[in-house]
């Protein structure tokens, strides 16, 4: 029987000072031997070569860990995508996550790709040796008309050439399981990795409540209510909640866990220590003790 994968997402910082800090974070994440690390794209003044590709190259060639580079369809031209794929191949990277990308009203789109499925199809045409991941939304994409329409669009994306799917974060596993059932009914056969984000501080919790479309179960809201002004307790409870989610998901034979680390190596390490045996990995502490 195949085992669930464990992977991490990190984001390139906006400053060169932040890059130095990120390198330390990546060293710590590398010690946990994830199946891969994905590197996001952010809409800032620095281009994708200076951010996503630079960090992805470091992960692949310095840490010797497989990496996936995020590519936003709406902000890349066909020529840019072709050039980026060439650069990735030169770095030894042949995995990408094809996204539509978050629309920024202040940044005009390129209009070469309207949807992620367009980008997926183009990559398959010009670089068929690349493995392509796609994003999925267990609780429906915020711009989708309905759950049915959302699943049909996802089906189109997979048919275009997605090899696997990585889910948006969620806090209710039952929502994720219902989503998997919908995928099965639509004959979407690509493996789906479950996206988990540990909530470890009040600021992060408030941002999730205000901006995320994820449903917050009563059990999770109770944690926020009780420990809102106790940062240590909130952190411990948030980590425990994430661990509980992961244990349940792996027990139910999910294809993999994709941890949204928010560039926090300490959080990733604690979750790893609590769940490593589920992924048949040796916990770091045991490695150190020999």
Catalytic residue set:
9
Q: Distance between CA 188 and CA 120 in Å, rounded?
A: 16
Q: What are the C-alpha distances in Å from 278 to residues 6, 257, 282?
A: 10, 11, 10
- Chain position carrying tokens 């179960």: 217
- Chain position carrying tokens 């010690």: 31
For 5-29, b/e burial (b = at least 16 CB within 10 A) is: bbbbbbbbbeeeeebeebeebbeeb
Cβ(26)–Cβ(60) under 8 Å?
no
* Strands 256-260 and 192-196, sheet pairing: parallel
In the structure encoding, which two tokens stand for residue 84, read together?
Answer: 């980026």
Q: What are the C-alpha distances in Å from 201 to residues 21, 206, 225, 265?
A: 20, 9, 13, 15
């Amino acid at each position: 029987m195949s085992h669930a994968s464990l992977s991490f997402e990190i984001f390139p910082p906006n400053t060169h000072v932040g890059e130095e800090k990120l390198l330390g974070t990546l060293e710590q994440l590398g010690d946990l031997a994830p199946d891969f690390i994905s590197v996001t794209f952010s809409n800032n003044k620095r281009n994708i070569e200076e951010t996503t590709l630079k960090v992805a190259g470091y992960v692949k060639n310095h840490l010797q860990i497989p990496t996936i580079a995020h590519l936003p369809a709406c902000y890349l031209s066909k020529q840019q995508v072709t050039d980026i794929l060439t650069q990735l191949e030169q770095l030894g990277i042949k995995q990408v996550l094809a996204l539509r990308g978050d629309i920024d009203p202040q940044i005009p789109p390129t209009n070469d790709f309207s949807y992620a499925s367009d980008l997926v199809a183009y990559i398959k045409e010009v670089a068929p040796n690349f493995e392509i991941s796609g994003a999925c939304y267990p609780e429906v994409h915020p711009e989708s008309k309905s759950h049915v329409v959302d699943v049909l669009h996802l089906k189109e994306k997979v048919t275009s050439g997605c090899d696997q799917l990585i889910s948006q974060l969620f806090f209710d596993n039952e929502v994720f399981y219902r989503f998997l059932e919908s995928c099965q009914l639509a004959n979407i056969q690509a493996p789906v990795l479950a996206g988990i984000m540990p909530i470890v501080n009040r600021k992060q919790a408030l941002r999730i409540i205000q901006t995320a479309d994820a449903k917050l179960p009563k059990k999770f809201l109770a944690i926020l209510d009780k420990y809102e002004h106790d940062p240590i307790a909130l952190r411990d409870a948030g980590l425990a909640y994430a661990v509980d989610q992961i244990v349940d998901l792996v027990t139910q034979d999910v294809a993999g866990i994709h941890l949204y680390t928010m560039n926090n190596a300490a959080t990733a390490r604690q979750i790893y220590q609590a769940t490593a045996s589920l992924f048949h990995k040796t916990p770091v502490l045991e490695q150190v003790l020999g």
